[in-house]
């Protein structure tokens, strides 16, 4: 019964196009690499060209190694991975990414919203939003809204995968606090704001599915596990969180980025999930997310707030089209 979580090692069509945000390291790197090794075309959407190109070269080497080991399910072709620039802390850059992608004229079958950062000190983006709110949630919200029309035209079984966290369970929703204007650097609770950003992703899954449930696109979200990645970079100055992650590593609680990517890969490619929506996955299995995340009234408050934040980036038609899908 049960067993370790895994994803099917089944070939994917090279016609299948998958975007992984933050695909240059950690969970995103392993997610992008394995989906490409199964044969799909993968775009890693990253803020640093240098880091992304370096990641692609390591992926190539890993691919050759897996082939030599005789790993099953790998594509017999070449690895098809490309880089596109995306800085989620800038709505201008996010819009440019969407336009650049649309200009390629490619379909889009899977969009994995993976990029993120945690427990960051209080910082405002050039758009005036609290950083974790924008990078983890709002920037991805804009990408999804802009790329849904492409996904509608991309044939059956299109999926949006939101990499959330078990931490969403520890957050409450408070519209007045989203922008953290009440705080200064000294009293800002960075963990609370990370949890909140992960809560918003789960709430977004429900509000989006409500609007697109008759379409070919499904939205799901997941917890990857406690993962020993580069995630600790944004809170290196915080002893409490740095120690917790170190302890998790020493005691074997944290898992490798490969293991942390398994649920993302499974939710993105497993044929058994075709048509499945509104599920929060943990270890590849459905789990009930927090009551707060399932509160429809609050989901709609967040939806309206998000649209207001993006009013200069979404046209009335784009919003209306979504509401009537």
CA distance 232 to 222: 20
Backbone angles phi, psi at 63, to 5 degrees: -60, -45
Backbone angles phi, psi at 133, to 5 degrees: -60, -45
By CB under 6 A, name the binding residues for ligand NAP. 22, 24-28, 46-48, 51, 86-89, 114-118, 135-136, 163, 165, 223-224, 226-227, 229-231, 233
CA distance 214 to 64: 42
Min dist CB 138 to ligand NAP, Å, is 11
Which residue's CB is nearer to ligand NAP, number 179 or number 215?
A: 179
Going by DSSP bridges, is the β-strand pair 81-85/41-46 parallel, antiparallel, or unpaired?
A: parallel
Min dist CB 297 to ligand NAP, Å, is 26
**From the CB of residue 79, how many other CB atoms can be counted at a distance below 10 Å?**
18
Min dist CB 209 to ligand NAP, Å, is 20
Helix pair angle (257-269, 26-37), 10° resolution? 50
Min dist CB 172 to ligand NAP, Å, is 18
Examine the residue annotation and report whether 194 is marked as an active-site residue of this protein: yes
Which residue's CB is nearer to ligand NAP, number 133 or number 173?
A: 133
Min dist CB 160 to ligand NAP, Å, is 14
CA-to-CA dists, residue 207 to 146, 299, 304, 323, angstroms: 16, 6, 10, 11
Which residue's CB is nearer to ligand NAP, number 162 or number 322?
A: 162
Which residue's CB is nearer to ligand NAP, number 28 or number 39?
A: 28
DSSP assigned state of 311: T
Min dist CB 58 to ligand NAP, Å, is 13
Which residue's CB is nearer to ligand NAP, number 229 or number 299?
A: 229
Catalytic residue among 29, 137, 193, 194: 194
Which residue's CB is nearer to ligand NAP, number 93 or number 216?
A: 93
Backbone angles phi, psi at 321, to 5 degrees: -60, -40
Strands of the sheet containing 17-21, edge to edge, are 81-85, 41-46, 17-21, 110-113, 158-163, 217-223, 280-282, 285-287
Alpha helices in the chain (DSSP H): 26-37, 49-69, 91-104, 131-132, 139-152, 190-212, 239-250, 257-269, 296-309, 316-323
CA distance 118 to 190: 8
- Which sequence positions are flagged as catalytic? 194
């Amino acid at each position: 019964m049960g067993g370790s979580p895994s994803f099917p090692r089944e070939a994917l069509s090279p016609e299948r196009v998958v975007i992984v945000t933050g695909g240059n390291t950690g969970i995103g790197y392993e997610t992008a690499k394995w989906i490409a090794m199964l044969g799909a075309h993968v775009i890693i959407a990253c803020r640093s060209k240098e880091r992304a190109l370096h990641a692609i070269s390591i992926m190539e080497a890993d691919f050759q190694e897996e082939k030599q080991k005789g790993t099953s399910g790998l594509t017999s072709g070449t690895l098809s991975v490309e880089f596109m620039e995306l800085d989620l802390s800038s709505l201008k850059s996010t819009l440019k990414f969407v336009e650049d992608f649309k200009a390629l004229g490619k379909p889009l079958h899977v969009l994995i919203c993976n990029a993120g950062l945690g427990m960051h000190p209080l910082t405002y983006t050039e758009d005036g939003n609290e950083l974790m709110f924008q990078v983890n949630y709002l920037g991805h919200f804009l990408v999804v809204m802009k790329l849904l029309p492409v996904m509608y035209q991309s044939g059956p079984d299109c999926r949006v995968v939101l990499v959330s966290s078990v931490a969403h369970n520890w957050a409450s929703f408070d519209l007045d606090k989203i922008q953290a204007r009440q705080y200064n650097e000294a009293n800002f609770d960075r963990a609370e704001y990370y949890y909140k950003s992960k809560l918003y992703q789960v709430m977004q899954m429900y509000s989006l599915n409500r609007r697109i449930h008759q379409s070919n696109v499904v939205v799901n979200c997941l917890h990857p596990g406690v993962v020993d990645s580069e995630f600790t970079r944004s809170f290196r100055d915080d002893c409490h969180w740095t120690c917790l992650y170190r302890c998790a590593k020493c005691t074997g609680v944290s898992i490798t980025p490969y293991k942390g990517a398994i649920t993302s890969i499974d939710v993105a490619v497993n044929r058994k999930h075709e048509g499945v929506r509104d599920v929060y996955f943990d270890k590849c299995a459905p789990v009930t997310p927090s009551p707060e995340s399932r509160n429809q009234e609050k989901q709609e408050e967040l939806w309206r707030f998000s649209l207001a934040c993006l009013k200069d980036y979404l046209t009335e038609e784009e919003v209306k089209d979504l509401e009537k899908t």
